[in-house]
């Protein structure tokens, strides 16, 4: 199972002072050294953390490395043009609301099919793998197949917020969706709200091929340093994955 490290919140800290540090690209290089299999970043319409320049710099810094870039973006003309300019390895299309603190739900692919197709085709024609960030539901997976994407990223936010009997219910939703997604031929990823405690159960789902994790890794890097925060997350994921039936 691959670990994509989301570097947005390194930039959040930088933007708090509108200065040059901490530098998310330097963070990306440390994360790779510590075992990150991918660097994920979200270029938001309001540029609240990652800036266009970060994306271009990341592309240049990684040009001689095999580590892929996963660009999270809203399905808009502006973002499409940026993606076609930068050519990341993967684009993950996400819903975006100006007022939200973080991405609140998955894309409603069922009702946005026509709109999404407009963005998926040019991205795929440019050789970019396209993934959709969706809630773990069969109907969303079916619609994702229909619009011709390569992958889905299952939103783990509901699972991360659940407790008591709901926790097992949400975990089962993820298990069922991961199995279903693979059966219908998609690559299956997951992410959002995962941390050092709750990641184990998700990493035990064999059908999930990649986890994208940001906030908890960056938060804990304040105590442990970024290298150690990534290393520990990778270790937990690998152990859980190995021990899963
Ligand atoms: N995956 C997607 C599609 C996201 O939008 C985010 C948040 O930017 C993440 C994963 C990472 O979530 P978190 O920061 O809660 O680990």
For 172-218, write each residue's pLDDT tens digit.
999 999 999 999 999 999 999 999 999 999 999 999 999 999 999 99
For 228-244, write each residue's pLDDT tens digit.
999 999 999 999 998 88
Neighbouring C-alpha atoms within 13 Å toward the C-beta of 87: 6
Q: Which of 34, 101, 59, 125 is nearest to 71 (CA)?
A: 59
Write out the two tokens for 123.
Answer: 């991205």
Write out the two tokens for 69.
Answer: 């870039």
Domains of the chain by residue range: 2-244
Is 2 a pocket residue for ligand 1 (Cβ < 6 Å)? no
pLDDT (0 to 100) of residue 244: 85
What's the rounded Cα separation, in Å, for the pair 159 and 156? 5
For 11-68, write each residue's pLDDT tens digit.
999 999 999 999 999 999 999 999 999 999 999 999 999 999 999 999 999 999 999 9
Q: Which of 191, 105, 182, 189 is nearest to 145 (CA)?
A: 182
**Residue with CA closest to ligand 1 atom 6:** 192
Ligand 1 atom with least separation from CA of 133 = 3
Q: Which residues are catalytic?
A: 42, 72, 192
- Residue among 3, 212, 219 whose CB has most ligand 1 atoms within 8 A, to mutate: 212
| Helices 226-243 and 215-224, packing angle to 10 deg | 120
* Neighbouring-strand partners of residue 190: 154, 211
**Residue with CA closest to ligand 1 atom 9:** 192
At 73, the pLDDT band (50, 70, 90 cuts) reads very high
What's the rounded Cα separation, in Å, for the pair 63 and 131? 22
**Contacts of range 167-176, beta carbons closer than 8 Å, 24 or more positions apart:** 171/201, 171/202, 173/136, 173/137, 174/136, 174/202, 174/205, 174/208, 175/205, 175/207, 176/136, 176/138
The pTM of the full predicted model, rounded to 2 decimals, is 0.96
Q: Tell me the CA–centroid distance for residue 193 and ligand 1, in Å.
A: 7
Does the domain at 2-244 match CATH 3.40.630.10? Answer given as: no
């Amino acid at each position: 199972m691959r670990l994509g490290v989301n570097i947005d919140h390194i930039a959040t800290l930088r933007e708090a002072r509108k200065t040059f540090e901490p530098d998310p690209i330097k963070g990306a290089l440390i994360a790779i050294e510590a075992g990150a299999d991918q660097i994920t970043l979200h270029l938001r319409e309001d540029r609240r953390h990652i800036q266009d320049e970060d994306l271009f710099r990341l592309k240049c810094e990684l040009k001689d490395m095999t580590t892929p870039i996963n660009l999270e973006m809203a399905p808009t003309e502006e973002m499409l043009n940026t993606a076609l300019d930068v050519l990341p390895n993967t684009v993950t299309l996400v819903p975006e609301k100006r007022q939200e603190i973080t991405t609140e739900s998955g894309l409603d692919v069922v009702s946005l099919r026509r709109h999404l197709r407009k963005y998926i085709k040019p991205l795929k024609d440019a050789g970019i793998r396209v993934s959709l960030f969706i809630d773990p539901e069969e109907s969303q997976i079916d619609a994702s197949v229909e619009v011709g994407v390569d992958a889905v990223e299952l939103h783990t936010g509901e699972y991360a917020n659940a407790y008591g009997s709901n926790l097992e219910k949400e975990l089962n939703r993820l298990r069922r969706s991961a199995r279903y997604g693979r059966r219908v031929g998609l690559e299956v990823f997951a992410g959002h709200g995962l941390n050092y405690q709750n990641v184990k159960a998700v990493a035990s789902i064999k059908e999930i091929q990649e986890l994208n994790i940001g906030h908890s890794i960056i938060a804990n890097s304040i105590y442990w340093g970024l290298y150690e925060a990534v290393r520990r997350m990778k270790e937990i994921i690998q152990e859980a994955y190995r021990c899963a039936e």
